[in-house]
Structure 1
């Protein structure tokens, strides 16, 4: 959220602001997914080569150094309200924002359930240490798709993008119910990732466009928080089902989340229209 609130102020005076914001969200989504892949891989490698404690210290050092650099970057000042600016009396939580938060909660459930199912399958295959790397492959396709989103024409509205990516999530998640080996799982998860970033980028971009400028930070934080809640919920339900029946019931939670995401997207698009 601290990054996403900066794009609109940065592009405020640009004549093609929406195109630039779309490109910024696409880049940010791709960078986020790349870090999702490289972070666990790097720390995992350090844990094996050096020691788990040293790997944790390296991760903490990176967070302190680059997190502080980001916090102090001059663009942070652009998010402050102008002196004397009149704040909007519009409600912070709107119906649209609630729908987008639910959409993010469902994608969080996908993350949590998929990671749980991957861990169960890898453990059963005698390779529990591979679970993190398997789940990280989700970010490979997501990063590629995230960059490609910037090339979409503006006439394709966010609700339409949301429906298309939710449809892809459902179609690409169903094969999870059939996987029995780590190789099969890696292939399916890598393909599933291609639909993740477009869905999330559409949600966050819409959230930034439907609220008042001074409410963007609240909107982005709400969506990010909903994603975390979904992650916890997906992991919990999938873990319980995995205890009863292994990795396939856990992945059923992933498929259920994507099906609900598609239903929500279709209803949202029907209410707002494809060009909004």
Structure 2
């Protein structure tokens, strides 16, 4: 068998006999990859709520619990991009193995320190280490799959695979963040407040390690005898990149303002216990639409999608602001918001895949994740303060402002010229990049 024949088999192109089927992403990544990557997301999804539950129970202070959760988010936001940069430089495997080990130890340490006689600052310090060492599973998974698509997928299937992959990854993130707090609640109520931290530590040791050791971790790992080829770091500050990060920040602000203002409005109306259910309406629509983006026609460009669905988010929040506490109107607004936010998140990550400077894919993906975390944490604190000091009627204006930022970033993106390598071009190029595995 000739070397060219083997090359065509490896990339999924038809052989001379035309009998080699084009590989699916499931085949390229391996059947174990997706369940491992999905479960590996849960420790982070459990972390913020779990630390809040633990610290409040151990220290009898809601203020300290909320502050510690914010410190966890801050640590993840500040250090996350550095972990992504390290993964681009030395490969994902050593970064994930080391951060997973530190993170699991920090989870156990917080369970001990919270119930100790150490001062509150010790709790906050451990919380920061916990957030800073959080394995960036979602961004790194996206980075791996993008490289598999661009390096191993036949040219005529890349566009649909890219859209479907970004949709799945967004849905996986949202599902983990919906059910992560549920797992925390079950463990905390049936066992002890420290149980979620111990459970998250076990999941981290098992599934983050499995994710790190999975063969797909070699996708972007440089060979030991090769120098790492990376674009200059200043390319991460290019307008086409920063506008995507601004969009991700707006999405984070949107999540934080919506949940907190919704809780405030429903509490004033005497339906506070319904906040989680009403907010869940947005999550359901968001997940369904995120998974449906692969069905969008190619002529519905990424720039147009961001504008259309971002505007839908803004329209939903205008309706929410005018609802006046009417539950049916708020439910409808959350449903429309979900239709908007799901495809918006998918579009942002697709644009990140398009504009990622050479050798810095993981860095950019973690920048988007960190921007979302910063936005959500800051917005939750700000909206809660506004609702407490001026009332829910003022707090409902903040989701409108957050959605406006998403739309403004979309307008800025539309005004920019095309990036150096657009998804529409990269995933349909007739010449595949060299295989990286």
Give the TM-score normalised by the residue count of structure 1: 0.87
1:167 to 295, 301, 311: 311
CA distance in 1, matches of 2:265, 2:172: 28
Q: CA deviation at 1:169?
A: 0.6
2:282 counterpart (112, 134, 138): 138
1:245 aligns with 2:390: yes
CA distance in 2, matches of 1:47, 1:129: 19
- For the structure 1 residues 71 and 45, does the alpha-carbon distance in structure 2 shift closer, same or farther, using more than 3 Å as the test? same
Question: CA–CA distance in 2 between the matches of 1:56 and 1:188?
Answer: 35
**Which residue does 1:180 correspond to in 2?**
325
Within 5 Å, give how 1:8-157 maps onto structure 2: 8-11=146-149, 12-14=151-153, 15=155, 16-82=157-223, 83-84=226-227, 86-89=229-232, 91-124=235-268, 131-157=275-301
CA distance in 2, matches of 1:13, 1:37: 33
How far residue 62 of structure 1 moved from its aligned partner, in angstroms, is 3.3
Question: 1:18-56, CA deviations, whole angstroms, 9 ceiling, x for partnerless residues?
Answer: 321221111111122222222223433444455544345
Shift of 1:106: 0.8
Bigger RCO of structures 1 and 2 (CA < 8 A, at least 6 apart): 1
Displaced runs of 4 or more, over 6 A: 273-276
Q: C-alpha distance in 1, partners of 2:271/2:205?
A: 32
Q: Which moved more, 1:232-241 or 1:51-60?
A: 51-60
Q: What is the deviation of 1:163?
A: 0.5
Contact kept, 8 Å, 2:167 with 2:291, in 1: the verdict is yes
**CA RMSD of superposed structures (Å):** 2.7
Q: What is the distance in 2 between the residues matched to 1:45 and 1:122? A: 25
Task: Spell out, residue by residue over 1:125-182, the C-alpha distance to the aligned partner (whole angstroms, 9 max, x if none).
Answer: 5665654554344321111000110111222221111101111111112222115266
Instruction: Identify the residue that residue 140 of structure 2 maps to in structure 1.
Output: 2
Q: Decide whether aligned partners of structure 1 residues 235 and 85 sit closer, same or farther in structure 2, where only a CA change above 3 A counts.
A: closer
Q: Distance in 2 between matches of 1:59 and 1:251?
A: 34
Per-residue CA distance 1:243-271 (angstroms, 9 max, x = gap): 23322322211111112221221232133
Structure (1 or 2) with the larger CA radius of gyration: 2
2:261–2:396 contact (8 Å) kept in structure 1: yes
CA distance in 1, matches of 2:168, 2:363: 22
On the 8 A contact 1:88/1:212 being kept in 2, the answer is yes
Aligned to 1:111, what secondary structure does the other structure show? helix
Is the alpha carbon distance of 1:245 and 1:87 closer, same or farther for their aligned partners in structure 2, counting shifts above 3 Å? closer
Aligned twin of 1:191: 336
Q: Quick one: distance in 2 between partners of 1:160 and 1:170? A: 15
Match of 2:126? none
Q: TM-score, normalised by structure 2?
A: 0.57
Any gaps of 5 or more consecutive residues in structure 2?
1-138, 426-437
Segments of structure 1 that go 5 or more residues without pairing to the other structure are none
